[in-house]
Amino acid sequence: MPANPATDPAGRTLVGMASANAQGITLDPIDETTMVVNMGPQHPSTHGVLRLVMELDGETIVRCTPHIGYVHTGIEKTGEYQTYMKAVTITDRMDYLSAHINNLAYTLAVEKLLGIEIPPRAQALRVMLSEIQRIASHLVWLATHALDIGAMTAYFYAFRDREKLLDLTEMMSGVRLMPSWIVPGGLRGDAPDGWFERCAAVVDELPMRFREYETLLDQNPIWRERTQGVGCITVDECLNLGVSGPTLRASGMAYDVRKVAPYSGFERYDFHVPVGTFGDVYDRYRVRLAEMRQSREILKQAIETMPDGPVRVGDRKVAPPPRQELETAMEAVIHHFKLWTEGIRPPAGEAYVPVESPKGEIGFYLVSDGSNKPWRMHERPPSFMNLQALPGLCQGRLIADVVAIIGSIDIVLGEIDR
């Protein structure tokens, strides 16, 4: 997408991260006039336990080094000791703001190993859950990002509306944040009575809420001043660094896994991929707001076209039999027992299925040795890859811009450290 600075009211131009170096800021040797400032790991604006060591020349950042690993809990190692069904629950805890989408990415990889196709209703419900989760995750991003820059009101409004979306997850699974509802073979259960009506009510309300956030922020001169032209990154720099998701799209490339490699039937829904032009903090804000609107469109279509049928595959080696069968059929009892004691045994092989999470491309690289536990369970963590852009984005900027930039790349430390 060509950038035309003449038509942009703020006079922004498309510049990459390398421009800071071009402006004559040298990195080596360390100047005696610079000062090293430590930010985090206990800092409210680092969205978790991110520690940044910044070398400053006055207020200008010469060098920024992220230090991570403070909440490393060995999730990938733990995954190797769980059966395939039990490992679903630890995927929730990686990016704890988009648990459904983590479950989905893991589940699709297991299903690829198994070579199974799940029923249409389960597919449509997976799409709905992931879009509910995407809006909820973006609302947390909006709330905390705005709070970091000093706009406190948006925080309360966004969390109020996120609660309504979490209620939908709770109604379905009984849990707000760690549902583990999407499992290999389909879903753990169907939507309860009244779920779709409640979902439709939330979907109807959302456009008004989105306008409300925009009223608070969009034309706010302070917000614009703090975000426009700050933290610019080009498409080539994003790709080279492995940056994906809204950050990549704000720079102008419409790479969305839901469009280029559709999964779970996303090709059946009509939606756009919003892109930005300047790749700055403001464009990343605009892209995410537009994405929430598109997610809402997908939800609306999914409610209208929800197919009937089962939400689990009929294969008793993958999904358990219905409860009532256990009382009459011995075979069902055996299947149930085998599934919960031994679990699924996918054939030996490797699988990776990319999925679009609110942060970017997520996927699980699974290696199976034919046993009932994954030999290797690796997550491609979008936050981890996106964090690599931070040193370049901060270089040459003022220290006050760091919180705006961290907020705009939307990281979750649970996923970075795993």
For residues 60-79, which are near other proteins according to CB under 8 A? 68-69, 72, 74, 76-78
Residue for token digits 């609306």? 300
Residues near 354 by Cβ (< 8 Å), separated by ≥ 6?
Answer: 105, 257, 261, 263, 361, 362, 363, 380
User: According to the binding rule CB under 8 A, does residue 244 interact with other proteins?
Assistant: yes
Q: Which is nearer to other proteins, 50 or 217 (CB)?
A: 50
Token pair of 382 as six digits: 């979008």
Q: Which is nearer to other proteins, 146 or 413 (CB)?
A: 413
What is the closest distance, in whole angstroms, from the C-beta atom of residue 216 to other proteins in the complex? Answer: 26
User: According to the binding rule CB under 8 A, does residue 16 interact with other proteins?
Assistant: no
User: According to the binding rule CB under 8 A, does residue 171 interact with other proteins?
Assistant: yes
- Residue of 51, 198, 268, 317 interacting with other proteins (CB under 8 A): 198
User: According to the binding rule CB under 8 A, does residue 229 interact with other proteins?
Assistant: no
What is the closest distance, in whole angstroms, from the C-beta atom of residue 219 to other proteins in the complex? Answer: 32
Q: Which is nearer to other proteins, 57 or 80 (CB)?
A: 80
Classified as helix, coil or strand, 54 is strand
User: Among positive and negative, which fits the CA dihedral 132, 134, 136, 142?
Assistant: negative
Residue for token digits 């991260």? 17
User: According to the binding rule CB under 8 A, does residue 188 interact with other proteins?
Assistant: yes
Binders in 373-402 for other proteins, by CB under 8 A: 375-376, 378, 380, 384-385, 387-388
User: According to the binding rule CB under 8 A, does residue 272 interact with other proteins?
Assistant: no
Cα 125 to Cα 251: distance, rounded to the nearest angstrom: 31
- Residue of 28, 32, 117, 197 interacting with other proteins (CB under 8 A): 197
Q: Which is nearer to other proteins, 94 or 143 (CB)?
A: 94
In this structure, what are the phi and psi dihedrals at residue 89, rounded to the nearest 5 degrees? Answer: -65, -30
Cα 139 to Cα 77: distance, rounded to the nearest angstrom: 31
Q: Report strand pairing: 51-57 vs 35-39.
A: antiparallel
Residue for token digits 């290797």? 376
- Note the maximum CA span of the chain: 81
User: According to the binding rule CB under 8 A, does residue 141 interact with other proteins?
Assistant: no
Q: Which is nearer to other proteins, 120 or 189 (CB)?
A: 189
Q: Which stretch binds other proteins (CB under 8 A): 53-61, 197-205, 281-289, 298-306?
A: 197-205
Q: Which stretch binds other proteins (CB under 8 A): 5-13, 215-223, 282-290, 359-367?
A: 359-367
Q: How many residues bind other proteins (CB under 8 A)?
A: 71
Q: Where are the alpha helices (DSSP H) in 68-194?
A: 75-79, 88-91, 99-114, 120-149, 153-173
User: According to the binding rule CB under 8 A, does residue 320 interact with other proteins?
Assistant: yes
What is the closest distance, in whole angstroms, from the C-beta atom of residue 242 to other proteins in the complex? Answer: 3
- Comparing CA positions, the residue from 331, 308, 231 lying closest to residue 276 is 231
User: According to the binding rule CB under 8 A, does residue 261 interact with other proteins?
Assistant: yes
- How does DSSP classify residue 191? P
Kind and range of the H or E run holding 288: helix 281-304
What is the closest distance, in whole angstroms, from the C-beta atom of residue 83 to other proteins in the complex? Answer: 9
Binders in 331-350 for other proteins, by CB under 8 A: 336-337, 340-341, 348-350
26 CB burial (10 A radius; 0-12, 13-18, 19+): exposed
Burial 222-252 (b: 16+ CB within 10 A, else e): ebeebbbbbbbbbbebbeebbbbbbbbbbbb
- Residue of 16, 41, 120, 189 interacting with other proteins (CB under 8 A): 189
Q: Which stretch binds other proteins (CB under 8 A): 20-28, 134-142, 253-261, 298-306?
A: 253-261
Distances (CA, A) of 182 to 100, 101, 189, 407: 7, 9, 9, 29
User: According to the binding rule CB under 8 A, does residue 2 interact with other proteins?
Assistant: no
- Residue of 159, 352, 398, 399 interacting with other proteins (CB under 8 A): 352
User: According to the binding rule CB under 8 A, does residue 156 interact with other proteins?
Assistant: no
- Residue of 323, 327, 328, 330 interacting with other proteins (CB under 8 A): 323
Token pair of 221 as six digits: 């001169």
Kind and range of the H or E run holding 64: strand 60-67
Binders in 68-127 for other proteins, by CB under 8 A: 68-69, 72, 74, 76-78, 80-81, 112-113, 115
Q: Which is nearer to other proteins, 58 or 74 (CB)?
A: 74
Q: Please list the residues that pair with 377 across neighbouring strands.
A: 366
What is the closest distance, in whole angstroms, from the C-beta atom of residue 384 to other proteins in the complex? Answer: 6
Peptide bond just before 29 cis, omega within 30 deg: yes
